[in-house]
Chain A
Amino acid sequence: MLENLQLLFDYPALGADLIANGLMIGAIFALAAFGMALVWGVLGIINIAQGELVMLGGFVALTAAGLGVPPLMTIPLAALVLFMIGWGLYRLVIFRVVDRDLFVSLLATFGLSIILQQLSNEVFGADVRTLETGLGTLILFDSQIVLAEIKLVSFVTALVVGLALWAFLKRARLGQAIRATSQNARAARILGIDTDRVYAATYALNAALCGAAGSLVVMAWTIHPYIGLPYTVRSFLVVIVAGLGNIAAVIAAGLGLGALENVAGFVLGAEYQIAFVFSLMVIILVVRNLLLRRKREYLK
């Protein structure tokens, strides 16, 4: 660990490079986390199948590219297809767990994630897949920082989507209906909002976000049917840290997590990178809770 820290001091550009790459990774977490926050805030469920939706988005993008769709166009295409899949999943399974205990939703979505994983394994095979975009590499500061352009694309996409989402929730009718439902579902119903449609739209929207994230993952990294759980847990981590309401906080937390994880992986050694992330989550939870306990409250 000390040698790694030493490296960071000897080559400061290394730190910048790690952070830059980490931010790119974090952009994907932020996308998945938006959706998780939406679903949690509006439907009151924790979607353990989040990572699997990302994975499906990746495979949809891959299939589309195989059919001749230009790689960058697969991003909105994957979002669209996953929107429909998300709507379908809501109608089949999710609507039954919406009004129930959070714990029930955890398990139900866990079951769903297993089904999606295994079906993907059957349909797409367990191979590691990736999509070449033909985009190049950005070389900055005299080769001190090197970024693959696709990663930059994913970063910008995440920001753009975040902004669009924020505008949507604020201005569009459906967006306002979603916010109303999340604040008080009964009142929203009394006022004439069809909360069931709102729930379906929210879950579908979440799926679309994951779909876009997935298409970015397959282009910038690799996918296979079992990549889901890490994305699920990281988006959960981001939501816990950022809270449910604030989109800017979610973006910041997602980016921050990506950067932090990358640097931690470098300093502590790659084998402890994931342990670091999860231990961090536990510590954050415990500390926040302890702080609340002093006021005789607890995390809700």
Chain B
Amino acid sequence: MILLKVLRGVAVALMGFGILWGVSGTASAKVEGNTVYLGAAISLTGKYSTNGAHTRRGYDLAVEKINAAGGVTVDGQAYELGIIYYDDESTPARGAQLAERLIQQDGVTFILGPYSSGLTRAMAPITEKYGVPMVEANGASISLFQEGYKYLFAVLSTTEQYLQGAIALAAETAEDGQVLRVALAMENDPFSQDVRAGVIADAERLGMRIVIDDKLPPELNDMSATMAKVRALKPDLLVVSGHAKGAALAIRQIADSRIDVPMLALTHCDAAQVIEKFAEKAEFALCASQWAPGLSYSDDLFGSARDFADLFEATFDYAPPYQSAESAAAVMVFADAFERAGSFDPAAVRDALAATDLMTFYGGINFDEAGRNVAKPMVLFQVQDGEYRVVYPSDTAEAPFAHPTPRWSER
């Protein structure tokens, strides 16, 4: 008897929850009172939790600033923005579930993207299926934009551009007829592999040769085997992409093993805090970045990039990494689209998004047909005298590119 009761209880409970949460329609946007809600998946736990926190703060700061400035005006009425958050636990399966939940249960019709390409990849098919526009700020993988999604828009530069600057600068250092030799040490995850694909394409286009092509397992905590190869083969450029861990390990192990590489290019230097942690060991490293406070972009909401950085630091007690900046920009894109569409109908907003041509403190935003932002280039820093100095692209460069990196014995 008890089994029957248990099962009945379960059934009743499920139905009860269902009734409690209500069956929300998906046709109308989630607008309650004068607040329009966006849905967001954030990594509150799991390996991306730190970046998830940066992303969330970016979203929150933008919402706060926009609401303080009067919100968005649609059809003559002013609306505030609100965000519904769920934890995607840094796993794609959860992310997908969460997208379904936001759309089906909570009835949101606009979604802000999660942190990481893997999670964005898991959520994109679902937002596409339901016709829910997603503006994402932290999924850079180019493969996201090769599936023909119409409802996906990304404000950040995509992976193949990450280290374009490094390759371009390397090409400039080549002497006549010299074939530059490039070494790659990339983490074996979707993001880094996409960066790798971009680097290989650029390198081959400029006639360089790839002499080392290591795919590092994500759990790996030591790069000494790769370092040994680098010491033996003496490449002209070493490119490392492995999120913060890759950057930290690379700098630490290159210094510890006294490896002399004329050029070292990394991603996620700021996330790994290479300057704070490694001081002189990080000198001369090239760092790819989506944004920097020193750039000269500005807008009417936040002011200049520097203003945004100051505001962020005042609010959250630390300097904003680019993840926060781009997340804030994503919210601004939605606000702008709402006003231009003049409604909250997802299809209309989607069309307005596609026509975006906006300048923000983060950079220009203009989407191509695939949804990528083609108005903002990646920036390349070099660590010079303990500070990040922009060395590429040349029109925004603050300092000349220092090359070659002096040998360890001379430092």
B-binding residues in A (CB < 8 A):
4, 7, 10-11, 14, 17-18, 21-22, 25, 118, 121, 125-128, 130, 132, 137, 139, 143, 146, 148, 150-151, 217, 221-222, 224, 226-227, 229-230, 262-263, 265-266, 269-271, 273-274
Contact = CB atoms under 8 A, between A and B. Distances in A.
Contacts of B228: 14, 17-18, 21, 266
B49 interface: yes
Interface string B252-267: 1101111000000000
Given A222-B245, A270-B225, A274-B220, A126 B277 contact: no
Q: Which 8 A-B pairs have the closest CB atoms?
A: A148-B256, A271-B215, A21-B224, A266-B225, A128-B245, A126-B49, A265-B225, A270-B214
B145 interface: no
30 contacts: A7-B229, A14-B232, A17-B228, A18-B224, A21-B222, A21-B228, A22-B224, A25-B222, A118-B45, A125-B49, A126-B46, A127-B271, A128-B245, A132-B278, A137-B255, A137-B256, A139-B258, A146-B257, A146-B258, A148-B256, A221-B221, A229-B219, A230-B219, A262-B225, A265-B220, A266-B225, A266-B228, A266-B229, A270-B220, A270-B225
Contacts of B271: 127
Contacts of A18: 224-225, 228
Contacts of B225: 18, 21, 262-263, 265-266, 270, 273
B144 interface: no
A270 B215 contact: yes
B84 interface: no
Contacts of B217: 270-271, 273-274
A140 to B, nearest CB: 11
Contacts of B229: 4, 7, 14, 266
B392 to A, nearest CB: 26
A106 to B, nearest CB: 20
Given A224-B47, A227-B219, 7 more contacts: A14-B228, A137-B256, A143-B258, A221-B252, A226-B47, A270-B225, A274-B217
A221 to B, nearest CB: 5
Contacts of B257: 137, 146, 148
A126 B219 contact: no
Contacts of A132: 277-278
A78 to B, nearest CB: 17
Contacts of A118: 45
Interface of B: 45-50, 185, 188, 214-217, 219-222, 224-226, 228-229, 231-233, 244-245, 248-249, 252-253, 255-258, 271-272, 277-278
Contacts of A21: 222, 224-225, 228
A121 B45 contact: yes
Given A7-B232, A224-B245, A126 B224 contact: no
* Interface core residue of A22, A227, A265 (most chain B CB under 10 Å): A265
Contacts of A266: 225, 228-229
* Interface core residue of A127, A128, A148, A222 (most chain B CB under 10 Å): A128
Contacts of B45: 118, 121
* Interface core residue of B46, B48, B188, B278 (most chain A CB under 10 Å): B46
A125 B50 contact: yes
A127 B50 contact: yes
B249 A221 contact: yes
A51 B344 CA distance: 50
A46 B84 CA distance: 43
Contacts of A127: 50, 244, 271
B245 A121 contact: no
A222 B49 contact: no
B214 A269 contact: yes
Contacts of B49: 121, 125-126
B266 to A, nearest CB: 13
B194 to A, nearest CB: 16
A230 B222 CA distance: 12
Contacts of B222: 21, 25, 221, 262
Contacts of A224: 47, 245
Contacts of B248: 128, 130, 222
A99 to B, nearest CB: 31
A287 to B, nearest CB: 25
A176 to B, nearest CB: 37
B252 A130 contact: yes
Contacts of B216: 270-271
Given A137-B256, A270-B217, A262 B249 contact: no
A119 B263 CA distance: 40
A227 B248 CA distance: 15
A273 B220 contact: yes
Contacts of B47: 126, 224, 226
A227 B256 CA distance: 21
A177 B43 CA distance: 48
Nearest to B226: A270
B184 to A, nearest CB: 11
A137 B281 CA distance: 13
B249 A222 contact: yes
Contact of B258 (A128, A137, A217): A137
Contacts of B219: 227, 229-230, 274
B232 A11 contact: yes
